[in-house]
A and B are shown apart, each in its own frame.
Chain A
Amino acid sequence: MSFIPDRTVLSNIAPWLASLTFLSVSIQLVQAEEVALQEEALWAFKPLSNPNRPEVETEEWVRNPIDAFILSKLEKSGLEPTSEADRQTLIRRASFDLIGLPPTPDEVADFVNDPRSDAYERLIDRLLDSPRYGERYARHWLDLVRYADSDGYKADQLRPNAWRYRDYVIESFNEDKPYSRFVEEQIAGDELYPDSDAAKMATGYLRLWPYEDNQPDMGRHWEAILNDMTDVTGDVFLGLSMKCARCHDHKFDPISQKDYYKLQSFFAALSPWEEVYLGGEDAEKAYQKQLSRWEEATVELRAEIEFIESASLKIGWDAAFAKLPPYVQDIVLKNERTPYEEQLARFAEKMIGWRSNKDLQKNIAKEDLEEWKALTSQLAEYDKIRPMERERVASVRDVGKRAPKVFVESKGKKAEVDPGYLAILGLEDPEIEPVPENPNTTGRRAALADWLTEGSNQLTTRVMANRLWQWHFGQGIVASSNDFGYLGDRPSHPELLDWLAVRFVEEGWSLKAMHRLIMTSSTYRQGSVNHNKLAERVDADTRLLWRMPVRRMDAEQLRDSMLFVGGDMDLAMGGPGVSEEDSSRRSIYVLNKRNKLRTMMNKFDTPDLHNSCHMRDVTTTALQALSLMNGEWSLTRAESFAERLLKIESDGVEKRIVAAYEIALGRTPEVEEIQLAQSFIEEPSSPDSWVDLCHVLLNTNEFIYIN
């Protein structure tokens, strides 16, 4: 920059000239910088490197190669890491991080007093083995894929089987399913593993789009759904914001509009499928056997009912059909359909079906109604031998071996595109054929899954390695973890990111191996309090990790902790969603209704359930304070918490205070804190005093921020 004329000198000569010269020089500099930035912006598309562990001065700090990468940057910036956090802090941090719950006083004591040299490693292993781990980490994933238990739009219909996908994610994390398999099952479970229950549930990923079951313009709706699926897949698996390229070539990233539709083509043949059952062949055989018993016993009865109903259904069918737009009516009446028409027809038939069933009773002729009622109640008597509904999942299948054509439309011109990868990667587009595991589908999604899970795929591997880092440190090596493109952030430690990505594949895509690696590093074990002014100035955002960033509990950690501390938590796993207010199950099981967001958890920044959420917002508002201070739910938690304390002998005021600190904050109070609490508890015999103290503790910053 030395060639910039000194402004002050210049402005003494001619102020207007100075500003002019300064401006033009600035513009040239800016342009040069932009070109450099643009090249640098392509970093994510470069193949994975296998960087060497850097040399560092303070070698004794390095526990594993992660530390060398972090320390080398710190040393270059003249910074030092913070000394290791104490054990109380470490167990609280690790517990919230891995299982989303605070440690119990006993767990803290055991860890603090554990004399073994590998006490910390044992702690991490214990937490990773806990089924609570899957419940914690599934939430990260559900945010990404915009999981919800309802359709959204007007009716916001409940999706009665959506929770199976949620349970699948929990189970996958708990069993440390290789990430590659996890991806395959979600993208193409029906093609690659058609007989696996896990894969059936996994394809729920392709059903998470918002849906309006009362939308007659099905062509437009299906287009919106496919776009949504394409966008989210770009966000989640590729870390690329594809959305801009839907209507035009991306203005900043090397993603063309054609690339967008090539990615979309992988999904072009699918259609939602409801008749997908769990339990394998034996369960199916047993079901069919029982079903035929019931059917035989009710043949005549059902025939009579059907006879009456058929007239009603015909009326309903006609009415529903009449309300479809003409182009959809044409498709419904066709005998031979193209794959695209087949997709729309499936939507149309579903709509006609639910509409005519809805009006079934209404449309029964008056003179038949009494008889119909009598017959149906007779039929109900056979429910004893009727088989239970089979467990089913909301899944997808391709409509056949042929896919609808996908076009890219630009400036009025239409061109057909085939499935393929981003042009900038320089890969050949795949030759796609039905896979042997399932010859009845296009095999397109299997091909996509295949590419995504190649060890050499620089996008999938880097994106997931970065997410793991973010989940432990609060922000990723690339802070914009859904966007590795030009508008996203640059990696703070590009070599470390590649090293982690390579290691991830070497570890067989094991998430637990990576958690262990990251959490046993010196980097992760640092304290979070460091009054280093230089560091504050050079790196206020703690990108270089000179200390452990402090994190506010997210909504789930907060709700779960309050239930846990009050001793109210119900640790039952799985099953349909539950009420946030009335249930004491873990928050991962709280029903996610897209249109109902007025709850305590929403105030603490739960995602909007429409967009892929790569990182929670952290807002601080008066409405949060009102909800924690005045909300009935919060007060009930304080009451439960106080009840626990009141079980301690009545003259043990100090004992109770100590217990309160240990339960809520995971540490023993200092003398001054005990005195403060004693003077707060004016009436030790009044339960209200204890409720108030507990309520205050649940509201403290120390409770809600994790060091």
Chain B
Amino acid sequence: MIPHREAPVSRRDFIMRAGGGFSGLALAGMLGLDKAFAAPPNPLRAKVGHYSGAAKQVIFLFMEGGPSHLDLFDPKPLLNELHGETLPKSFKEPITAMGEQGSPLLGSPRKWKRHGQSGLWVSDWFPHIAKHVDDLAVVRSCWADGLNHVGSVCQMNTGSILGGRPSLGAWTVYGLGSLNDNLPSYVVLTDREKMPLGGVRNWGTGFMPATYQGTLFQNGSTPIQNLVPPEGMTDSRQRKKLDMLAKLNRKHSEKNAFDDELEARINAYEMAYRMQSEAPEAVDLSQESESTRSLYGLDQKETEGYGRQCLLARRLVERGVRFVQVYSGSGSAWDTHANHEERSTALCRSVDQPISGLLSDLKQRGMLEDTLVVWGGEFGRTPMSEKGNGRDHNPFGFTMWMAGGGVQGGQTIGSTDELGLWAVSERAHVHDIHASILHSIGLDHMALEFKTGGRLERPTVNTGNVIRKLFA
């Protein structure tokens, strides 16, 4: 556990955070509960959510740049019929990110099939994921507020297109605490060196303390910054230093009166020392069998990159990491303004088998019930072409799916219009998606509160509804 004293910790503060308000304060006083609030609560102790029986962990597969729902999960025959024509007047023309106006519609050359017992539509870009449709709930009516990447990636992570708010992972860790003592509770993985657009604030804590922030794992055997002692520092030499440090700190504690904070810092050094051995073990994929490695596509060049990250995600979840985010194409690779066909083919190929492998693996290990898997990007793509053979951003209507974590698979929820431009029925805003993710892990998005600057803040900016059908 990482002990941490939040400032200011006052009784009022604590009760307000617990959601009790003034009535709670008065009642607590009457019931003689004052003493219970004297010690600062450890912010990362594992907590019970608002509902029992919920999932415990989340893996969020983030296709950064915006995958095309029109070519993956949301077939539009009319789009092919009208290929080359301009958007009919009956469809409202949106402001597009790149400002191309009146561009012709771009049909989808995909081959479509119904899959599984549920008969859900999936295109030939995702042949492996298609095998899992009976576990997927496909939400076709997502929509978001932003038009450009950085705002939209930010919103898909924090609920707001503007910076300064905590990410969903941070809210999760704040609400549920940590399930392990030796690894960070919230980990971000990327399949290439580029940072997701907007950088750290996508897994930052905004107005919350840094305790809850995500940790970006570096590729290689030392995933965490400064995990390994500098060259030339032997283990015995480092142990000696840590022992000396502990001696000096104990002596200092004896003289001083603020034990819990000092104790917390002593423990943090011990945890850091444990992390040095635990974290490299967690990321050591050589411990996995050949069959598992090939299940994730580690034996093929095209799928190896994302496969490693998916396998790593499973290992982290196994070790109690609460929230894992796995970026595909970090730095906006899915942003296919031009050469959409060629680029998307390669991207889909790179994630299809790894994601399929992850779902199979979680299922066969009995982990899927307790783990919510979310797939999507910051938005979808337009039916109108851009630069002739590309598609522009479409935050007006796009697809995401969820699996595991109590989600009822084999169903499609909501729809876009006949060209896949605007979400029309059962519209699901990013806040609704977030509310549903939180619901899956036992958190009520309106009861999860954090007090800052005189406001009670909630993860979905006080709006949003759980998409009930997901859990029907």
C-alpha gap A536/B260 in the complex (Å) = 13
C-alpha gap A620/B4 in the complex (Å) = 5
Within 8 A of B (CB), among A614-657: 614-627, 629-632, 635
Of the candidates B98, B228, B245, B257, the one whose C-beta lies within 8 Å of that of A529 is B257
A241 at the interface (CB under 8 A from B): yes
A608 and B201 in contact, given A26-B27, A626-B227, A632-B230 (Cβ under 8 angstroms): yes
C-alpha gap A612/B453 in the complex (Å) = 9
A671 at the interface (CB under 8 A from B): no
One of A125-133, A386-394, A438-446, A697-705 contacting the partner: A697-705
Residues on the A chain within 8 Å of B233, using CB? 630
One of A171-179, A515-523, A583-591, A597-605 contacting the partner: A597-605
B265 x A629 contact (CB < 8 A): no
C-alpha gap A425/B95 in the complex (Å) = 44
A550 x B258 contact (CB < 8 A): yes
C-alpha gap A140/B210 in the complex (Å) = 19
Residues on the A chain within 8 Å of B119, using CB? none
Interface string of B10-28 (1 = CB under 8 A from A): 1011001000001100110
Chain B nearest CB from A489 CB (Å) reads: 6
A487 x B210 contact (CB < 8 A): no
Residues on the A chain within 8 Å of B148, using CB? 154, 212, 214-215
Residues on the B chain within 8 Å of A676, using CB? 244, 247-248
B210 x A480 contact (CB < 8 A): no
Within 8 A of B (CB), among A640-688: 673, 676, 680
B6 at the interface (CB under 8 A from A): yes
Nearest B residue to A530 via CB reads B257
B38 x A540 contact (CB < 8 A): yes
Count of CB-CB pairs between chains A and B under 8 Å: 248
Chain B nearest CB from A52 CB (Å) reads: 28
A30 and B201 in contact, given A617-B209, A621-B4 (Cβ under 8 angstroms): no
Chain B nearest CB from A222 CB (Å) reads: 14
Nearest B residue to A670 via CB reads B251
C-alpha gap A235/B240 in the complex (Å) = 48
B456 at the interface (CB under 8 A from A): yes
B164 at the interface (CB under 8 A from A): yes
Within 8 A of A (CB), among B257-280: 257-258, 261-262, 264-266, 268-269, 271-272, 275-276
A29 and B4 in contact, given A605-B210, A611-B164, A632-B230 (Cβ under 8 angstroms): no
A707 x B454 contact (CB < 8 A): no
Chain A nearest CB from B190 CB (Å) reads: 13
A596 at the interface (CB under 8 A from B): yes
B248 x A702 contact (CB < 8 A): yes
Nearest A residue to B166 via CB reads A608
A552 x B261 contact (CB < 8 A): yes
C-alpha gap A482/B207 in the complex (Å) = 13
B454 x A482 contact (CB < 8 A): yes
Chain A nearest CB from B267 CB (Å) reads: 8
A630 x B244 contact (CB < 8 A): no
Of the candidates B162, B230, B240, B276, the one whose C-beta lies within 8 Å of that of A610 is B162
Nearest B residue to A531 via CB reads B257
Chain B nearest CB from A617 CB (Å) reads: 4
B249 x A700 contact (CB < 8 A): yes
B5 x A618 contact (CB < 8 A): yes
A630 and B228 in contact, given A483-B454, A487-B16 (Cβ under 8 angstroms): yes
One of B63-71, B124-132, B192-200, B358-366 contacting the partner: B192-200
Nearest B residue to A242 via CB reads B454
Within 8 A of B (CB), among A489-542: 489, 528-531, 536-537, 540-541
B472 at the interface (CB under 8 A from A): no
A262 at the interface (CB under 8 A from B): no
A479 at the interface (CB under 8 A from B): yes
Residues on the A chain within 8 Å of B23, using CB? 30, 34
C-alpha gap A214/B457 in the complex (Å) = 29
A620 x B7 contact (CB < 8 A): no
C-alpha gap A217/B13 in the complex (Å) = 40
Chain B nearest CB from A547 CB (Å) reads: 7
Within 8 A of B (CB), among A180-236: 210, 212, 214-217, 224, 235
Select the residue from B13, B205, B265, B266 with max chain A CB neighbours within 10 A: B265
A629 x B269 contact (CB < 8 A): yes
C-alpha gap A1/B455 in the complex (Å) = 32
Of the candidates A217, A612, A626, A704, the one whose C-beta lies within 8 Å of that of B272 is A626
A541 x B10 contact (CB < 8 A): yes
Nearest B residue to A241 via CB reads B454
B89 at the interface (CB under 8 A from A): no
C-alpha gap A153/B161 in the complex (Å) = 9
Chain B nearest CB from A622 CB (Å) reads: 4
Residues on the B chain within 8 Å of A385, using CB? none
Chain B nearest CB from A346 CB (Å) reads: 20
B204 at the interface (CB under 8 A from A): yes
Nearest A residue to B2 via CB reads A621
Chain A interface residue count, CB cutoff 8 Å, equals 97
Residues on the B chain within 8 Å of A26, using CB? 26-27, 30
C-alpha gap A489/B25 in the complex (Å) = 13
A705 x B262 contact (CB < 8 A): yes
Residues on the A chain within 8 Å of B205, using CB? 608
A629 and B7 in contact, given A324-B99, A603-B210, A611-B206 (Cβ under 8 angstroms): no
B249 x A597 contact (CB < 8 A): no
C-alpha gap A618/B241 in the complex (Å) = 25
B255 at the interface (CB under 8 A from A): yes
Of the candidates B98, B451, B453, the one whose C-beta lies within 8 Å of that of A235 is B453
Select the residue from A482, A598, A602, A701 with max chain B CB neighbours within 10 A: A701
Interface string of A460-491 (1 = CB under 8 A from B): 00000000000000110001101101111100
Residues on the A chain within 8 Å of B149, using CB? 154
A362 at the interface (CB under 8 A from B): no
A489 x B12 contact (CB < 8 A): yes
Residues on the A chain within 8 Å of B2, using CB? 619-622
A29 x B200 contact (CB < 8 A): no
Residues on the A chain within 8 Å of B226, using CB? 623, 626-627, 629-631
C-alpha gap A602/B258 in the complex (Å) = 24
Of the candidates B207, B230, B452, the one whose C-beta lies within 8 Å of that of A635 is B230
Of the candidates B164, B198, B209, the one whose C-beta lies within 8 Å of that of A154 is B198
B253 at the interface (CB under 8 A from A): yes
Select the residue from B164, B207, B224 with max chain A CB neighbours within 10 A: B164
A610 x B255 contact (CB < 8 A): no
Interface string of A294-323 (1 = CB under 8 A from B): 000000000000000000000000000011
Within 8 A of A (CB), among B220-250: 224-230, 233, 237-238, 240-242, 244-245, 247-249
B99 x A216 contact (CB < 8 A): yes
A210 and B162 in contact, given A487-B454, A530-B257, A550-B256 (Cβ under 8 angstroms): yes
A37 at the interface (CB under 8 A from B): yes
C-alpha gap A603/B2 in the complex (Å) = 14
Residues on the A chain within 8 Å of B249, using CB? 700-702
A363 at the interface (CB under 8 A from B): no
Interface string of B393-422 (1 = CB under 8 A from A): 000000000000000000000000000000
A325 at the interface (CB under 8 A from B): yes
5 closest A-B pairs by beta carbon, nearest first, are A483-B454, A323-B99, A241-B454, A154-B150, A610-B164
A598-B225, A622-B2 known, 10 other contacts, Cβ within 8 Å: A243-B455, A487-B451, A595-B200, A603-B210, A608-B204, A610-B163, A619-B211, A625-B265, A676-B248, A705-B256
A interface, CB within 8 angstroms of B: 1, 26, 29-30, 33-34, 37, 152-154, 156, 210, 212, 214-217, 224, 235, 240-241, 243-244, 253, 322-325, 474-475, 479-480, 482-483, 485-489, 528-531, 536-537, 540-541, 543, 547, 550, 552, 594-598, 602-603, 605, 608, 610-612, 614-627, 629-632, 635, 673, 676, 680, 692-693, 695-697, 699-702, 704-705, 707
> Can you report 23 residue pairs joining A to B where beta carbons are below 8 Å apart?
A1-B30, A30-B23, A153-B150, A154-B148, A154-B197, A156-B199, A212-B151, A244-B454, A480-B8, A482-B454, A487-B456, A595-B199, A598-B200, A602-B210, A617-B7, A619-B209, A622-B268, A625-B265, A626-B225, A626-B275, A630-B227, A692-B241, A702-B248
